[in-house]
Structure 1
Amino acid sequence: MVNAAAERTTQPSPSQIRRWRRYLADEEAEGGIYEALASRSKDPEEARVLAGLAQAEARHAEHWRTLLGEHAKPSPPSPQRALLRFLAKRFGSVFILALAQRAEGNSPYAKDQDATRAMAADELVHEEVVRSLATEGRLRLSGNFRAAVFGANDGLVSNLALVLGIGATGVSSSFVLFSGVAGLLAGALSMGAGEFVSVRSQRELVNAAHPTHATLRAAPDLNLDENELKLVYLARGMSEEAAEHRAAERIGRLSCDCDPSTSLPVGYKEGEKLPDDDEPDTMGSAIGAAFSSFLCFSAGAVVAIVPYLLGLSGLTAIVTAAVLVGIALLVTGGIVGLLSGASPLKRGLRQLAIGLGAAGVTYLVGLLFGTGAA
């Protein structure tokens, strides 16, 4: 890094100074983000990784500080990184890691000749490191969060479509409001019940496919000549040789216990309840998914009837409902984009286009029926 400054024989231009100062401020802010996350982490290994990222950002900051020389004056970081640093000091969650991942992925160093190739490579690696750190949190969120996002969007789109379709027929505002409330309750109850059944059924199917420890209980009484125990391991995907070896271990012909997946954990006896797997639960609980879906559908559906609750009517109410729902769709789409590391704007616009497109179809149908009735 010092070599880059030593090789420069000309004074930096004003535009370079401004750009380097911005880089310096952003690197210092990113270092502060990782330090804040490390201080809040309850996992020592995760904290060590975050501290390593902070040290790398400090090295990058020193590169720009060296290039700037006497021009290395304090400069505010970009609004995004300033917000990230603020949130990291107070929350330290998967949301912050997702935002940090996106910031690392948008590094300009690959196209900036004043940044070293090592720095550009560092930023690519940093994105993967942060992605890995955020993986478990994303998996834990994916169950109930999926139900919440799906419920909110379904409430926004379905009730807006209902309200616009009925409102376009020219009926009274009170009837539109009643229809919206009825749609809210019917949809929320249906979504909640559907999520409960869906998650419970999925969990039951997954649990039914998990291997059990029945082989340990059956081993003493098995026919040693037929050795049907081998079939268990063949069905689990082992090779012929591996299945025979594992079966021999189970019935006591071999003392080596080379496959911990079919033995009881240390400290547990036959018949005792075994501990749950350490893998993150990506489905969420059936009750949690149902509750999240019910509440989020209701929250989304109520947005469409807010104008009618406020006493608006006619085209004014319809336009206001469409605008409010459009804003909500942008927000929910943006949140999904942030958590997935994608562009929040693109995800938000996608949600907006789908939602308003569906509602627009029902509005046109309402106009058609309203005109026919007149």
Structure 2
Amino acid sequence: MTGSPAPEGATARDRRRWARYLVDERAEAAVYRQLAERRTGEEREILRALAQAEGRHEAHWLALLGGEPARLPRASVGTRMLGWMARHFGAIFVLALAQNAERRSPYDGDPAATPAMRADEKIHAEVVRGLAARGRRRLSGGFRAAVFGANDGLVSNLALILGIGATGVGSQVVLFSGIAGLLAGALSMGAGEFVSVRSQREMLAATEPNEDAHDVLSDLDLDANELALVYRARGIDPVEADRQAHDALRRAAEAAPPLARRHGVVPRSDDDIVGGAWTAALSSFLCFASGAIIPVLPWLFGMNGAPAVVLALVLVGLALVGTGATVGLLSGGPPLRRALRQLLIGYGAAAVTYGLGLLFGVALG
């Protein structure tokens, strides 16, 4: 895509804006090329095509500027961060950020951008969303268990420790309660996640079409036409089910693909979403334990009283913000909002149990 010479009446402010667009397009193209080098097959080709499209946008701004300016501004902070992450982190994080960046294109309200460029940016956002979704599917099973495990460990053990501590017991009791909560919770989370994932996989397997019926097509009674019931059970209209059943029976003796695929009923595998039961259980156990140890650290290193409580709150708060922002980033949502939500939920639970502990302490006293 080539641009036109700078329009009459272009101001210095316009030229600065175009120069900023130019460097951002170059930086975004570099991000896509860096990601492409770390991928293979179709994903690599898609990322390279995105980089080429950013190059066409770059040519448009160069034409408006009348060539390469003597001085160029730095790329935006967000674009530079994308470049840094592309060099040091996995593609999933970068694509999730790029998805948000493409969705907030500045070209929508800029008359200097062509309609084709504005359309490109919207298409790019959808392409990047699709690539990011592939990555999310690959890690969703273990990642879901890991995030839930870490957050449960942080919140439940902080609430437990503050609730026990508020009753006025000694620091040793608080420490042992925290360690007991860590072990019990981690084992419970691991076992629960194993049962949950195994049950979900069994349920999904039970809902997939069974190909055994294909082997007995030639023995079916055409008048009874039980095969039509199979199609109707799969949600096909009764009239269409009868038609397909008669067609299938006439071709029963012919070599053909499996029945379900021949008639457009293709089993959908959700294994990549659900994940493995052992992987989910281990991730949940380890991440719960890693989260639950954080509020225990002040007492583990000999602190007690108010200083230990304050430090535990600070450490857990930082961890909650980190996990919340990570979830927001990978889900394509606003990281800050997710981080604050996690923080409020965690501190809210801790405040409730601390208040209950104070009540029990007074009652026991």
Is the TM-score greater than 0.5? Answer: yes
Aligned length: 361
Question: Distance between the aligned counterparts of 2:274 and 2:52, measured in 1?
Answer: 36
Matched residue, 1:59: 56
Question: Distance between the aligned counterparts of 1:253 and 1:30, measured in 2?
Answer: 55
User: Which amino acid is the alignment partner of residue 64 of structure 1?
Assistant: W
Note if contact 1:17-1:71 (Cα within 8 Å) is conserved in structure 2.
no
Q: How does 1:118-267 map to 2 (within 5 A)?
A: 118-253=116-251, 262=260
User: Which amino acid is the alignment partner of residue 303 of structure 2?
Assistant: L
Note if contact 1:216-1:263 (Cα within 8 Å) is conserved in structure 2.
no
Question: Distance between the aligned counterparts of 1:40 and 1:62, measured in 2?
Answer: 26
Question: Distance between the aligned counterparts of 2:284 and 2:179, measured in 1?
Answer: 17
Which of 24, 27, 36 is the equivalent residue of 2:25? 27
Shift of 1:250: 3.8
Matched residue, 1:8: 8
Question: Distance between the aligned counterparts of 2:235 and 2:73, measured in 1?
Answer: 59
Question: Distance between the aligned counterparts of 1:226 and 1:159, measured in 2?
Answer: 63
Matched residue, 2:360: 369
Question: Distance between the aligned counterparts of 1:278 and 1:205, measured in 2?
Answer: 12
Which of 96, 105, 108 is the equivalent residue of 1:107? 105
Q: 1:58 to 1:193 in 2, by over 3 A?
A: same
Note if contact 1:65-1:72 (Cα within 8 Å) is conserved in structure 2.
no
Shift of 1:326: 0.7
Note if contact 2:22-2:58 (Cα within 8 Å) is conserved in structure 1.
yes
Please list the CA deviations of residues 62-109 of structure 1 after superposition, one character each: whole Å capped at 9, or x if unmatched: 233333446353433223322322332455522221111112122222
Note if contact 2:162-2:309 (Cα within 8 Å) is conserved in structure 1.
yes
Note if contact 1:307-1:321 (Cα within 8 Å) is conserved in structure 2.
yes
Matched residue, 1:341: 332
SS at match of 1:73: coil
Q: Which moved more, 1:136-145 or 1:312-321?
A: 136-145
Which of 283, 308, 323 is the equivalent residue of 1:332? 323
User: Which amino acid is the alignment partner of residue 117 of structure 2?
Assistant: M
Q: How does 1:29-48 map to 2 (within 5 A)?
A: 29-43=27-41, 45-48=42-45
Question: Distance between the aligned counterparts of 2:206 and 2:107, measured in 1?
Answer: 50
Note if contact 1:159-1:184 (Cα within 8 Å) is conserved in structure 2.
yes
Question: Distance between the aligned counterparts of 1:23 and 1:303, measured in 2?
Answer: 44
SS at match of 1:196: helix
User: Which amino acid is the alignment partner of residue 139 of structure 2?
Assistant: L
Q: 1:41 to 1:206 in 2, by over 3 A?
A: same
SS at match of 1:281: helix
SS at match of 1:7: coil
Please list the CA deviations of residues 162-196 of structure 1 after superposition, one character each: whole Å capped at 9, or x if unmatched: 11111122211111010000000111111111111
Question: Distance between the aligned counterparts of 1:18 and 1:372, measured in 2?
Answer: 69
Matched residue, 1:269: none
Please list the CA deviations of residues 305-329 of structure 1 after superposition, one character each: whole Å capped at 9, or x if unmatched: 0111121110111111111111111
Q: Which moved more, 1:128-137 or 1:243-252?
A: 243-252
Shift of 1:371: 3.1
Name stretches of at least 5 consecutive residues in structure 1 with no aligned partner: 265-274
TM-score between both structures, scaled by the size of structure 2: 0.90
Shift of 1:128: 0.8
1:323 and 2:314 matched = yes
Q: Which moved more, 1:315-324 or 1:51-60?
A: 51-60
User: Which amino acid is the alignment partner of residue 337 of structure 1?
Assistant: G
SS at match of 2:6: helix
Q: 1:8 to 1:177 in 2, by over 3 A?
A: farther
Shift of 1:34: 1.1
TM-score between both structures, scaled by the size of structure 1: 0.88
Q: Which moved more, 1:123-132 or 1:113-122?
A: 113-122
Shift of 1:247: 2.5
Q: 1:256 to 1:249 in 2, by over 3 A?
A: farther
Question: Distance between the aligned counterparts of 1:76 and 1:207, measured in 2?
Answer: 53
Note if contact 1:151-1:293 (Cα within 8 Å) is conserved in structure 2.
yes
Please list the CA deviations of residues 183-236 of structure 1 after superposition, one character each: whole Å capped at 9, or x if unmatched: 001111111111111111111111111111111222232223312122111211
Note if contact 1:153-1:332 (Cα within 8 Å) is conserved in structure 2.
yes
SS at match of 1:341: coil
Shift of 1:18: 4.2
Please list the CA deviations of residues 319-342 of structure 1 after superposition, one character each: whole Å capped at 9, or x if unmatched: 111111111111111011111111
Question: Distance between the aligned counterparts of 2:215 and 2:256, measured in 1?
Answer: 19
Name stretches of at least 5 consecutive residues in structure 2 with no aligned partner: none
Question: Distance between the aligned counterparts of 2:255 and 2:247, measured in 1?
Answer: 6
Q: Which moved more, 1:60-69 or 1:204-213?
A: 60-69
SS at match of 1:6: coil
Q: Which moved more, 1:240-249 or 1:104-113?
A: 240-249
Matched residue, 1:355: 346
Question: Distance between the aligned counterparts of 1:136 and 1:3, measured in 2?
Answer: 35
State the percentage of identical aligned residues: 55
Please list the CA deviations of residues 222-273 of structure 1 after superposition, one character each: whole Å capped at 9, or x if unmatched: 2233121221112112233432343334434577889855269xxxxxxxxx
Shift of 1:22: 2.8
Note if contact 1:249-1:256 (Cα within 8 Å) is conserved in structure 2.
no
Q: 1:253 to 1:21 in 2, by over 3 A?
A: closer
Question: Distance between the aligned counterparts of 1:229 and 1:6, measured in 2?
Answer: 70
Note if contact 1:246-1:259 (Cα within 8 Å) is conserved in structure 2.
no
